[in-house]
A and B are shown apart, each in its own frame.
Chain A
Amino acid sequence: MKNVLKHSILILFLALLTFAPSQGFAHGEESQHQEEFDAKSFIFGHTGDSYCFHITEIHGHPVCVWLPVIVKSKGGGWSVFSSKHVCELKEGETYSHNGHQFFIPPISAEKYPGKLVELKADGSLSRPFDISFTKNAFGIFLVCAFLLAFFLPAAKKYKKDPMAKPTKYQGMVEWLTYMVLDGIIRPNIPEKKVKQFAPYLLTVFFFIFFANLFGLIPFFPFSANVTGNLSITLVLALLTYFFVNVFGNRHYWKEILWPDVPVFLKAFPLMPIIELISTITKPFALMVRLFANILAGHIIIMVLMALIFIITGMYGAGMGGAMSIVSIFMTIFMTALELLVAYIQAYVFTILSSLFIGMAQHEPEHE
């Protein structure tokens, strides 16, 4: 381990020495005829959602999986077409479908960057109701399909013969399930209610965990930044909000609407308002925490990658080459860290969800 580190530092140092003298020449000439590298588009293009699943580029031609665009124009009908038509448009062009003109503004655009918009006859832009099956939607269903394919065969085996000696695969499923069940759910939820809430919490945990992991795999069909998208964490947080408040017991609601404070604090409903807001802030924090953590991890990795091109643009290929070595080492480190974060964030989301649900199920010991 020590040797590897020593060697890599040496290689890095040599690389810097070799390329350093050339930077003087490279700088002035190359930056002129080089296309300006747009770091913002690069980073947010990769971490954000997209209408097509970009796999790679061969000879300047993008190799993509074209996902369907499903939009409903304002005051118009539904339009369903392949994203190939709008993704390959040149600047200023539009795609015409059912009498509507569609195009996608670039990520650097001020209005609706990277989102499909409709160009109205009067030249104004309008965002249609958009339920396109995007890259992230694809990512969601990939995780869903994986969860079903991973857990259902085990469940089937258990159903067939619960007393049979479990296979290694079943052992893994059991271990994963009970890691969550005994480590996260049981400590927070009253034993009587575990059966009621465990399915939701287990599904949430494994959805987040595998979505995080899939997001780290940098090639098709993975790499969709599912949990680093606010829409997705919003749904998860809303579901937790639903499970906390809909199944909350009488004691929980009494604590919110008529807490044990002096009457003037609750007659003029100050405390109830504060308590009601607090029920919203909890899932809101859940939503932002997961989203921000995963997005930040992806952005850091993308920034490290972008650094290579930025340095190349600024100081030439020599420094860029040296930077790529640094970047790769940093990216390996970040990816390893993201593996940890993938688990931790799934764990935190689930443990807080079960804590909130458990608190809403808490029965006072003395009345």
Chain B
Amino acid sequence: MELFLPESGLVIWMLIGFLIVFFILAKVGWPMIMGAVEQRNTQIADSLLAAEEANNALAGIEQKRQETMAAAQAEQIKIMKESQELKTQLIEEAKAQARQEAEKIVADARLKIEKEQAEAMAQIKNEVIALSVDIAEKLLQRELNDKPSQTDYIETLLRNIPTRIEA
């Protein structure tokens, strides 16, 4: 049957057509497509690798940052603690100083009071002495006229004394 016999004409046309297409595509077709895809594949792979590396580097930086942060925080806490201590110490010192000062002032005041008291006492004494002398003078002037009236008189005199002290 002619169906199962190759035709020389068709074989020739097929060879021409197929080989032309094959050579054109082998020259400027498939290598371009494959080359570009391979190139892109390598680039994607490289980029992924680079991204991975960058990520790792970033993770390192992040860790470093966290470490620095932690260190800074620890430092801060330390400084705060120290300043707190210093503050307490200063307050304590100030308090102590103030207390000393106050004690000194109180002591001074007491001394002064005592002194003034002594002076006042001395003055009073002098006054009393003067009064006593006065009284004694007056008593002596009225000498024994009458006992009760004497007493009254002394009392009036005495009643007058405080006013004089106060003055």
Contact = CB atoms under 8 A, between A and B. Distances in A.
Given A136-B10, A152-B24, A177 B5 contact: no
A133 B20 contact: no
B27 to A, nearest CB: 9
Nearest to A200: B22
A132 interface: yes
A48 B12 CA distance: 17
Given A158-B32, A163-B40, A203-B26, A134 B9 contact: yes
Contact of B7 (A143, A144, A178, A231): A231
Interface string B21-48: 1101110111111111101100100000
Interface string A182-220: 000000000000010011101100010000000000000
> DSSP majority for the B interface?
helix
A112 interface: yes
Contact of A112 (B2, B17, B22, B33): B2
A147 to B, nearest CB: 5
A340 interface: no
A39 interface: no
B68 to A, nearest CB: 40
Interface in A121-178: 129-134, 136-137, 140-141, 143-144, 147-148, 151-152, 154-156, 158-159, 162-163, 173-174, 177-178
B42 to A, nearest CB: 11
Nearest to A194: B34
A113 interface: yes
Contact of B11 (A113, A158, A174, A235): A235
A325 interface: no
Contacts of A144: 17-18, 20-21
Given A230-B3, A230-B4, A232-B14, A177 B9 contact: no
Could you say which interface size class chain A belongs to? 35 or more
Contacts of A155: 25, 28-30, 32-33
B8 interface: yes
Contacts, number: 133
A148 B14 contact: no
B9 A130 contact: yes
A230 B25 contact: no
B15 interface: yes
Contacts of B15: 235
B56 to A, nearest CB: 26
B22 A162 contact: no
A271 interface: no
Contacts of B162: none
- A148, A195, A199: most-surrounded residue (chain B CB, <10 A): A199
B6 interface: yes
B35 A162 contact: yes
A49 interface: yes
B13 A140 contact: yes
Contact of B17 (A141, A177, A234, A239): A141
A154 B33 contact: yes
A199 B30 contact: yes
20 contacts: A112-B2, A129-B9, A137-B9, A137-B10, A137-B17, A148-B21, A148-B25, A152-B24, A152-B25, A155-B28, A155-B29, A156-B28, A162-B36, A177-B37, A202-B25, A202-B30, A230-B3, A231-B14, A234-B6, A239-B18
Interface of A: 44, 48-49, 70, 112-115, 129-134, 136-137, 140-141, 143-144, 147-148, 151-152, 154-156, 158-159, 162-163, 173-174, 177-178, 181, 195, 198-200, 202-203, 207, 229-232, 234-236, 239, 295
Given A140-B13, A154-B33, A229-B10, 9 more contacts: A140-B10, A141-B17, A151-B29, A152-B24, A181-B34, A199-B31, A231-B10, A231-B11, A232-B10
